[in-house]
Amino acid sequence: MRGGLTPTPCEGTPDVSSFSFEAEWHELSPGFVKCLTAGSGPTLLYLHSAAGFRPSPPVERLCRRFRVVAPIVPGFDGTPMLQGVGSVAALADVYAALIDKIAGGRCGVAGQSLGAWIGAWLALKHPEKVEPLILASPAGFRDPSLPPLSFEPETMLRQLHAHPERRPPETRPPEQLASNREAMKHYRAGTSWDEDLNRRIGEIRSLTLIVHGTKDVRVPADAVRKMRQVIPHSHLVYVNDAAHSIEFDQPERVGKLYEDFLLRGEAFIVNAPVAPEHA
Partner 1 sequence: MKFSQIHHMPYTGINEAGLGWPISNRRFDAKTAIDLFRTYIDVKVFAEACGFDEIGSNEHHMSPFGMMPNPNLIGAALIERTSTARIFQCGNLVPLINPLRIAEEYAMLDVMSGGRLTAGLMRGIPHEYVAYNIAPDESWGRMREAVELILRAWTEPEPFGWEGEYYQFRAVSIWPRPVQKPHPPLAMSGGSPSSARFAAEFKAIMGILRVTDLGQAKELIRIYTEQARADGWEPGPDRFMVGVPTAVAETFGEAKQVLHQGTQYFFDVLQGGINRAQQLVVRNTRYNSGDRNVRPLDRDQQMKLASVEERIERGQVLCGTPDMVVDQIRRMYAELGHGHMNLIIKIGNMPDDFVHRSMRLIGEGVLPRVRSLGTEASERAA
Residues in contact with partner 1 by CB under 8 A are: 1, 229, 233, 264, 266-267, 269-273, 276, 278-279
Residue 73: strand, helix, or coil: coil
Contacts of 87 (CB under 8 A, 6+ apart): 187, 188
Give min distance, CB of 276 to partner 1, in A.
Answer: 6
Asked if 53 contacts 26 with a C-beta cutoff of 8 angstroms, the reply is no
Measured from the CB atom, the residue of 148 and 232 that comes closer to partner 1 is: 232
Give min distance, CB of 232 to partner 1, in A.
Answer: 8
Measured from the CB atom, the residue of 145 and 271 that comes closer to partner 1 is: 271
Measured from the CB atom, the residue of 217 and 267 that comes closer to partner 1 is: 267
Measured CA to CA, the distance from residue 234 to residue 230 in angstroms comes to: 8
Measured CA to CA, the distance from residue 15 to residue 2 in angstroms comes to: 31
Convert 227-248 to b/e letters by CB count within 10 Å (16 or more is b). Answer: beeebeebbbbebeebbbbbbb
Asked if 216 contacts 242 with a C-beta cutoff of 8 angstroms, the reply is yes
Measured from the CB atom, the residue of 86 and 276 that comes closer to partner 1 is: 276
What are the backbone angles phi and psi of residue 193, rounded to the nearest 5°?
A: -135, 120
Measured CA to CA, the distance from residue 223 to residue 219 in angstroms comes to: 7
Measured from the CB atom, the residue of 88 and 223 that comes closer to partner 1 is: 223
Give min distance, CB of 269 to partner 1, in A.
Answer: 5
Give min distance, CB of 30 to partner 1, in A.
Answer: 38
Give min distance, CB of 275 to partner 1, in A.
Answer: 11
